[in-house]
Structure 1
Amino acid sequence: MPNPRIKYFPVGNGDTSLITLEDKTTIIVDCNIRNCDEDDVYDVKEDLLKSVQFDYGVPYVDVFILTHGDQDHCRGFKKHFYQGVPENYSESDKKDGLIRVDAMWFSPMIAEQHSNDDEDAYQQEAERRLALHRKKDPRKDNPGNRIKIIGYDGNADYKDLDHLRAVPGEIVSRFNDKDQSLFSVFIHAPFKEHLETLGDDKKNSTSIVFQGRFKNNLFQADFSTLAMFGGDSDHTSWSIILEKTKKYKNEHALKWDLFLSPHHCSWSFFNDRPQKENPDPNKTSLEVLDYRRNGAKVIASSKKIEDDDNNPPHFEAKREYVKKVTESNFLNTTTYNVVNGVPQPIVFEVTTQGVVKPKQSEGTAKVIGGAGLGAVNSASKYGNGQV
């Protein structure tokens, strides 16, 4: 079987990541699927259709994790992912390439406030699935109806559905009703404190944060790769994560090889914005970065990072990351690999020796698909766009 891999799509200031396991299980973390009419926009949708599996002609992703409901984390959900009763998926839906989400990961924080149509669509689909569990509908555990609640409730009450819930400190190793022996997720956030201390203006801080843990075989004493995902979580959130994780002696869950910089390389990971008024990074944020392992890499899913006042991405935030991992281990999705003017995904392969740095693709098409996989200076074994 092929090694597991992690793909970070170039979506400007936004997040779209795809985890693919050895058995072809796919996990999407957020989506920012933009209109591809512009020549410099990578066709994420076409890539996803080449990457996911099909069930009698229906494309499906095993798990969709929405870290929070900002537009740049769920753009395109309503248009490109199927919502509704799975049995009603039509030939028209198939023609449009609508991707069925077999299992949703849903944070009750999303229910607090709807700021865009895609977030509202995700919420409505989640409520449809939760209603099946409340009614004990026999279809509730079918593909396309599955759902997991992540974290604690706010104003909306889901306490009657605690059997579907995973909270910070828990390890999840079952995805889309299938146990995984070589992959698991440690849930870091959101904590209860996010409900009690953070107002609506801190909505981003309530992002789902998790550590993805990869092994290549059952005999490994340690993980091959540890990947951290955190949506738009800010320094306040990370200080709570650091405190709680250390308190409960789970410091192993803070280690990382790949760190997706929160909020698209924003200064908010290090301190309040604007940076000029809060120029010093918090010690807690720097300590989180100190849990990096040898050769660790930071990925900035953002526009090109310039030495200006934009935030995000923020130049001073990049400088802080580079101090920890060096310039060569700081990768920007917009600039790392550009083919014919189109940024390409950054793809890491998980091996027994750890995560393998992506090679520069040599393709020419707007959609490269599997390009960028494999070891440096070696031919990709996932050619022809088949991922």
Structure 2
Amino acid sequence: MDKLLTDLLKMAKEAAQKFFQPLAFYTSHDKNPLSFHVLNVGEGLMVLIVFPDKTTMLYDCNVTQGDKDDVIKFLGQHIPSRYDTSKKQNAQWIDIYVNSHRDLDHYRGLCDVYDAFQIKSIWDSGRSGETTQDADYQYYMRLRRTLIEQYGDSAVFVPVPNTSSIRNYGGAQVYCLSSSAYMPEKASLVEKAKIQHTEALVLSIHYAGRSLLLTSDSDWKAWKEKIVPGFGGSGILKTSILLASHHGSRSFFTDETQNEHIDIEANPETTYLDHIAHISPDIVLISCGDYDHFHHPNSEALAIYKNKATNKQVYTTKEKDHFSGFIDSAGKWTVTPSRFHNRGGSGSPTFDISCQMTFNGSVTNKKSGEYFPIKSSLKFMANAHGGLLDPYDQVDVWWEVSNGGIGEHHSHQEIYYKDKSEKTDKLTFGRDVAFEGTHLLRCRINNKEKKIDITKIFVVNGYKA
């Protein structure tokens, strides 16, 4: 092997070992994680999934001119760099683009993604779109033809629902729960669907006893007539992380063209609730835009999700921005806002976070990344330097927590701000350690007059004493 190739392979390996924050606080590539990122793309859907073997999947796409630069930059940070044998150099690419169904907010801006990152194959629901004349739709159809010409017919794949996994990437099993195709043994149980959301491509990804459920815009009818009859007794539907359907619309639970409310007693034939009990999620993520414009998430649907999720853990991209998460080979997992990373403050002005721990009557100063026993009380303080707080009345401070429970506490993935009712100085924050796991504390200080905006992260590793 010549030296150039050796160096390139070394570079690819080093790049593949790199994890950006916040996931770097929790895990590393030697844990063989499956990582995923739910991008904040407004009233659309876009999920990047990197499997343990580095196979990269993009589930739907919604890139607008307003968010193009942010989205492409984010993808560039999280798509792994691998050695491309055809180009004989390190490169980033997307192995699979999944178009769950052909609505504009699920393929918009695909040309911008393809310009930045090569796409090698497409998974499709198999149902044609309704807006076939728009430029993005026509681009998508041309890309399908291009990939078939380049890689053969297998480059475009319509998965068939099956209780056996359709793919295995590094130990992560991918199941197709719904598409325009039907499970052969269940075909007699379902009525042929006539609406696009009923035939959307729904995927469930299982790894190390945890799972991620990608529901697209699938509706109550798909779940009542197809998915639950086909998978209800298999255990496949039980989910750790649920990506809620259709921006949190009530269409997941009822026929919204007929019913103004989710009311199974008033509308038993066009309302369905059994599926959310089968799914029984630990956490629910909702990709949605401005509520005043789109009215998502629906308040009744949101109440159902909160009732079924562990500790009412339901969060939206509108309020939390991008999400990042992982499942590792030991079954450890978490979901956290991607903004939980250190930003700015490398010079002056800046600040640091100090921590004082009280446990069994003893007081100790602690550093970020150290271990903290459950039931210990922590007091944090933001210590500013170089005039960061001058003038004080122009300084805003936010404290935010993202729990990452493990073991018997694995379902505790709460994300919350310091409450305004907490009558303490804005530069201080206090909490008790309640759960085993890696928990992140984010402090952001913004000096509006000086236009200085700095974020620092403090890592608390909780353990049973």
Query: How high is the TM-score relative to the length of structure 2?
Result: 0.58
**How many angstroms apart in 1 are the aligned matches of 2:65 and 2:342?**
22
**How many angstroms apart in 2 are the aligned matches of 1:230 and 1:104?**
18
2:172 aligns with 183
2:165 aligns with 171
Kindly indicate whether residue 306 of structure 2 is the aligned counterpart of residue 322 of structure 1: yes
* Alpha-carbon spacing, 1:258–1:271, altered in 2? closer, same or farther (3 Å): same
* 1:29-49 per-position Cα deviation (integer Å, ceiling 9, x unaligned): 001112237xxx881111112
2:74 aligns with 47
Kindly indicate whether residue 235 of structure 2 is the aligned counterpart of residue 205 of structure 1: no
Letter of the aligned partner of 1:209 in structure 2? V
Which of residues 180, 205, 225 in structure 2 aligns to 1:240? 225
Shift of 1:315: 1.5
* 1:10-56 per-position Cα deviation (integer Å, ceiling 9, x unaligned): 1111111011123322111001112237xxx8811111122223533
* 1:205-232 per-position Cα deviation (integer Å, ceiling 9, x unaligned): 22101111112xxxxxxx2x21111211
Alignment of 1:242-321 (within 5 A): 242-246=227-231, 251-273=234-256, 277-281=260-264, 285-292=272-279, 296-303=282-289, 310-321=294-305
2:326 aligns with 349
2:462 aligns with none
RMSD, matched Cα: 3.4
1:219 aligns with none
Q: Confirm or deny: 8 A CA contact 2:95 2:121 kept in the other structure.
A: yes
* Alpha-carbon spacing, 1:263–1:111, altered in 2? closer, same or farther (3 Å): closer
**How many angstroms apart in 2 are the aligned matches of 1:111 and 1:263?**
16
* Alpha-carbon spacing, 1:285–1:182, altered in 2? closer, same or farther (3 Å): farther
Q: Confirm or deny: 8 A CA contact 1:111 1:123 kept in the other structure.
A: no
Q: Confirm or deny: 8 A CA contact 1:69 1:115 kept in the other structure.
A: no
**How many angstroms apart in 2 are the aligned matches of 1:241 and 1:76?**
31
1:15 aligns with 45
Which of residues 41, 62, 71 in structure 1 aligns to 2:95? 62
Q: Confirm or deny: 8 A CA contact 1:171 1:186 kept in the other structure.
A: yes
Q: Which has the higher strand share?
A: 2
Moved more, 9-18 or 184-193: 184-193
1:94 aligns with none
Shift of 1:243: 4.1
Which of residues 112, 117, 130 in structure 2 aligns to 1:99? 117
2:151 aligns with 140
Letter of the aligned partner of 2:71 in structure 1? V
* Alpha-carbon spacing, 1:264–1:111, altered in 2? closer, same or farther (3 Å): closer
1:160 aligns with none
Query: How high is the TM-score relative to the length of structure 1?
Result: 0.68
Shift of 1:304: 5.2
Q: Confirm or deny: 8 A CA contact 1:189 1:208 kept in the other structure.
A: yes
**Structure 2: unaligned runs, 5 residues or longer:** 1-29, 345-401, 405-436, 443-465
Shift of 1:324: 1.0
Which of residues 77, 81, 100 in structure 1 aligns to 2:110? 77
Letter of the aligned partner of 2:325 in structure 1? F
Kindly indicate whether residue 315 of structure 2 is the aligned counterpart of residue 331 of structure 1: yes
**How many angstroms apart in 2 are the aligned matches of 1:58 and 1:80?**
14
Q: Confirm or deny: 8 A CA contact 2:172 2:205 kept in the other structure.
A: yes
* Alpha-carbon spacing, 1:243–1:120, altered in 2? closer, same or farther (3 Å): same
**How many angstroms apart in 2 are the aligned matches of 1:113 and 1:334?**
26
**Structure 1: unaligned runs, 5 residues or longer:** 83-97, 133-138, 152-165, 175-179, 216-222, 337-342, 366-371, 381-387
Shift of 1:362: 4.1
SS in 2 for 1:358: strand
* Alpha-carbon spacing, 1:354–1:285, altered in 2? closer, same or farther (3 Å): farther
SS in 1 for 2:101: coil
Count residues in correspondence.
306
**How many angstroms apart in 1 are the aligned matches of 2:313 and 2:255?**
25
**How many angstroms apart in 2 are the aligned matches of 1:376 and 1:35?**
37
User: Percent of counterpart pairs with the same letter?
Assistant: 20
**How many angstroms apart in 2 are the aligned matches of 1:79 and 1:63?**
16
Shift of 1:355: 2.3
Shift of 1:168: 4.1
Structure 1 or 2, whichever has the larger Rg, is: 2
